[in-house]
Structure 1
Amino acid sequence: MTLTTPRPCLHGHAFTSTFRTLVDDIRRGALDRERTRRLPFAEVRALQEIGFGRRRLADDGSPATRLADVFDELIDLAAADSNVAHLYRGHLAFVETLLLNPDSADSIRWRDRILSGDFVGNAQSEKQETAEITTRITRLDGVPLLTGRKFYTTGSIYADWIYLSALDGDERVGVTVRTAHNGVSVVDDWDGFGQKLTGSGTAVFTDVPIDPADITRAEPDSRQSRYLAAVFQLCLLATAAGIAQAALDDTVDFVRPRRRIFGFAGEALPRENELVQAVVGKVASAAWSARAIVRSSADELDRALRDSISGRGTDEAFLMAELNVFKAQQVVLPLVLDATTELFEVGGASAVGTGAALDRHWRNARTVASHNPAVQRARQIGDYHLNDRPPSWQGAGAPAETTQGSARA
């Protein structure tokens, strides 16, 4: 999808009102899209046209909307359709990269593209037995050409650009390519049981010419690496929080009109039953808590970024913001998974019918939770508190002894 005539970005009440109307429209079509596997191209286009994808980016390259407010909107979007919120993960992180380095030539060039409405997908992983990268840059008459195959390319099928990892010789680099080139093919072959419409399938690149300016070589930058790792994870937690809200909304809609309940003769309104009320209360509490935790983490990240831009930032602030997002992961995901399981207690066998499709909330939450396994993050948190070792991770294709933090991984 290429946006050629984006609308001017809306601000303030105008954006909020238009966004809420659009979110309501997205919610109404979500179940049918999942049942028919209709990818939400039109919905993504509409969000881009009102400026959702550039909410954080001011014309001068500084942060505009507070990060907590953007994540609050992302939760609302996930409550309407968790697929649509999830597919924005790579794009939102890409925009944050521009905020980290507002004065670089790379950021200025990309700022214009983002402000014009361009959407960026992400493609780092490959289907390999190990974490190696086989996607490579070669050169023909001095022109860089990209060839390779990626998987888990969330959002890329909707994108104008794809940011991906590749090898240039033996060096791992970042590359951004136009999806409109006929050497780029993105296939909807994601076969997970949840988040089916995120476009997290295969992207194939065949001799795709690259602007040398769109090849980025990572320089050691612990602040940027920690900040972006946290943003990527927080996007998943926001999606999970939205799923919890959707589970609450659908559970209430399921219970309210019902006139009978297991174990009672004749008419017995489930909404008046204390046990049903307790279950709904737990689901509501999980949804509220998940949102509050995500907002709190977003505020901490925003403070670290703004202090860094003003020259007051510290490495410690970025480390603690990253660690605290990892801690949030340990709490939000079990909350949401438990809520999307327990909701079935409100209706017995009737709650598992395909008409209500309440199962999709657990399937989607479980799929989101399987990204960046929480148990690995729990170990890193414990190691830090016991041994003062900060979290580290290695990018695909990196030398085994080198800790990597790709600029836009």
Structure 2
Amino acid sequence: MAASTTLSAPPSVRFSRRFDGLDLAIDELSAELTDTTRERERDRVLLHEPVRRLLGAGFGALRVPVEHGGLGGSLEDLFERLIHLAAIDPNLAHVFRGHIGFVDGLVIDGNRAWADAWLARSASGILVGNAQSERSDTAEVAAVVEPTADGLRLSGTKYYTTGSIYSDWILLTARLGDDRVNVVADASHPGVSSVDDWDGFGQPLTGSGTTVFTSVPIETADVISWSDEDDGAGEYVAAVFQLTLLAVQAGIAAAALRDTVAFVRPRRRIFGFAGEALPRHDALVQQVVGRVSSAADAASRLVLSAARELDTLRTREDKSAAYREAALGVFRVQQILPRIVLDATTELFEVGGASAVGLGYGLDRHWRNARTLASHNPARQRERSIGEYELNGTFATWGREHTPTGAAAASAATAPGA
């Protein structure tokens, strides 16, 4: 009896917990965007409308506690959906990285009045972008916050400002006198200009370009002083930032599997053989698809396992030790996940010979996007630091702790000449 050629569709996504309005919006975006990412990347079509739809459906408020007007979701709830968004379009998922780190920083923040105000804003549907990097020969920050007769003003130029072109507010580092501070700036102010000049070969729609701040008013309460007190909170936020990148890579692996299967299934001959030979029945092709499938599944499992651990560790009484343990776990995952995703997005081309590299299929975008994400943070440096920890018990600091007291701002604002 001949084998049936009827092929079932891939199973639809099932989240461990439902948030009906948000999940409906994600399903709708999946139906509209999944098959057009290749063209949108090619034509540089930014994602303003999909970002606003997600914010309107509550994605930016998923981690905001219910008492502050949010959805009260766990990190696992968030990262399940982030992986799915990345499978739809990794650019779209990556846009939210700064916002995700900002909100989780608020959730654990000790300055409740400041954090509560921003949690309420986040629940209203705003997006907070991230603008930390500057182009210089040293690590010195050139952006400055200066006291004036009209209050504090921010000026400076930032690069690689992922998500800021879509944002309502932007979190960035600056100098205030002799202090290094974080500040939150109003992205709608005329003195803020974000330019889509990111020239990387991957993740082209994230808005990771240049943002210029020119005499932008800053509220005293929104100046966040760096603290030398080592409570580990910065390590936790650094872990969330890193896990966001890993979740996007897991989504890329899922998309690579989907597109590889879509490439193979309709083909009627396999490379290297004359006549008709269905590739989906070929053992070597099946083996490649099996490897890509395994990589995609493992990547998602690693991210969600790490998210569950972060949720658990965050509730422990010994916060300092818990936050460091959380960071260590995520940075161990960082040593493994990008490698298996990059291997999978390279090996998938083995299913189709020269035809698989056709621009019309766009299978190369999965590797380009995964490679770009894997280049963001120093995995090799962290690998060595993990080894040092295991051998000598020395814990490297990968995140910088801060306390949002506004103390530096208050001091500067009342200084002579302010």
Q: Please, what TM-score do these two structures have when normalized by structure 1?
A: 0.91
Could you tell me which runs of 5 or more consecutive residues in structure 2 were left unpaired when the two chains were aligned.
Answer: 1-16, 405-418
Equivalent of 1:91 in 68, 76, 99 = 99
Check whether the contact 1:102–1:108 (CA below 8 A) recurs between aligned residues: no
Q: 2 CA distance for matches of 1:321 and 1:333?
A: 19
Pick which of 73-82 and 17-26 moved more.
Answer: 17-26
The Cα offsets for residues 364-400 of structure 1, whole Å up to 9 and x where unpaired, read as 0000000112101101101111111112147xxxxxx
Name which of 343, 350, 367 aligns with 2:348: 343
- One-letter code aligned to 1:387: N
Q: Aligned ranges for residues 239-254 of structure 1 at < 5 Å?
A: 239-254=248-263
Q: Indicate which of 383, 392, 407 corresponds to 1:387.
A: 392
Q: Could you tell me which amino acid in structure 2 is paired with residue 209 of structure 1?
A: P
What does the per-residue CA deviation read over 1:210-231, in whole Å, with 9 as the maximum and x for residues that have no partner?
Answer: 1111111123243211101100
Aligned to 1:332: 337
Instruction: Please name the residue that 2:41 is paired with.
Output: 34
The CA distance in 1 between the partners of 2:231 and 2:111, in whole Å, is 19
- Counterpart of 1:292 in structure 2 is 301
The corresponding residue for 2:365 is: 360
CA-to-aligned-CA distance 1:2-52 (integer Å, 9 cap, x gap): xxxxxxxx9733432332222332323322210100110001001001001
Q: Match for 1:282 among 261, 271, 291?
A: 291
Deviations 1:131-171 (A, max 9, x none): 11100011221511101000010000000000000000010
1:318 partnered with 2:323: yes
The equivalent position to 2:173 in structure 1, one of 161, 165, 178, is: 165
TM-score (norm 2): 0.89
1:74 maps to which of 59, 82, 85: 82
Counterpart for residue 12 of structure 2:
none
Which aligned pairs between 1:5-154 and structure 2 lie closer than 5 A?
12-61=19-68, 64-101=72-109, 104-141=112-149, 143-154=151-162
Contact 1:26 1:43 in 2 (8 A): no
Shift of residue 321, structure 1, vs aligned partner: 1.4
Q: Which residue of 2 is the match for residue 400 of structure 1? A: none
Specify which of 180, 186, 195 is matched with residue 178 of structure 1: 186
**How far apart in 2 are the matches of 1:347 and 1:28?**
20
Structure 1: runs of 5 or more not aligned: 1-9, 395-403
CA contact (8 A) 1:393 1:405 kept: no
Q: CA deviation at 1:264?
A: 1.6
Residue number among 371, 379, 383 corresponding to 2:376 in the alignment: 371
Structure 2 distance, partners of 1:245, 1:275, is 20
Structure 1 distance, partners of 2:402, 2:283, is 51
Contact 1:305 1:313 survives alignment (8 Å): no
Q: Between Structure 1 and Structure 2, how many residues are aligned?
A: 386
Could you say what the CA RMSD is over the residues aligned between the two structures, in angstroms?
Answer: 1.7
Structure 2 residue identity aligned to 1:391: A
- For 1:317, give the aligned amino acid: A
In the superposition, relative to structure 1, how do residues 55 and 63 fare at CA in structure 2: closer, same or farther (>3 Å)? closer
The structural deviation recorded for 1:407 is: 6.3
Instruction: From the superposition, tell whether residues 63 and 315 of structure 1 become closer, same or farther in structure 2 (CA, over 3 Å).
Output: farther
Contact 1:59 1:115 in 2 (8 A): no
* CA distance in 2: counterparts of 1:69 and 1:115, whole angstroms: 16
Shift of 1:112: 1.7
- Hey, what's the Cα distance between the residues in 1 that align with 2:258 and 2:403? 38
Matched, 1:192 2:200: yes
SS in 2 for 1:204: strand
Structure 2 residue 228 is matched with structure 1 residue 227: no
Give 2:82's aligned amino acid: L
Among 213, 218, 221, the alignment partner of 2:221 is 213
Q: Deviations over 1:301-358 (max 9, x none)?
A: 1111233xxxx34422222211110010111010000000000000000000000000
The structure with the larger Rg is 2
CA–CA distance in 1 between the matches of 2:37 and 2:324?
Answer: 37
